[in-house]
Structure 1
């Protein structure tokens, strides 16, 4: 997906699904952006935008997820 193409609902749903897979693999937002750019050719800005919207809609989940990411990184 290039940044100049119009974004469809299915594009958003695809990235949402791929982000969920990244979360299952305990990836950080940056790791997810890199992985989707490399393997699915998705603009990192688009991934970041979808991730941010997911964070807004699921504040409690992402608060716990981010806390666990910090704990895992400090071991």
Structure 2
């Protein structure tokens, strides 16, 4: 049992690393692995937390980068809404 569970955890870790390459959050990764690889979200969450412990600096900068991206996207959306609102106003 020990060997097969270790290889299963290693596989989950590998899939989490792929999620990170796609800039996914922990929640998005849990959802994706549950849907596409039939992995229980609790397992994904547990392995993710262990990876965070082992790679503290990486995950701190990763979460900072994700937060910056979110605020960039929110700013971009606000600008697009203002631009589209002003363009529809000028057409009337």
Q: Which runs of 5+ in 1 are unaligned?
A: 1-5
Q: Work out whether 1:39 is the aligned partner of 2:36.
A: yes
The CA RMSD over aligned residues, in Å, is 1.3
User: Displaced runs of 4+ in structure 1, greater than 2 A?
Assistant: none
Q: Which runs of 5+ in 2 are unaligned?
A: 73-92
Larger radius of gyration: 2
Task: With the length of structure 1 as denominator, give the TM-score of the two structures.
Answer: 0.90
**Which structure would you say has the larger RCO, counting Cα contacts within 8 Å and 6 or more residues apart?**
1
Residue 56 of structure 1 is aligned with which of 29, 48, 53? 53
Aligned residues: 70
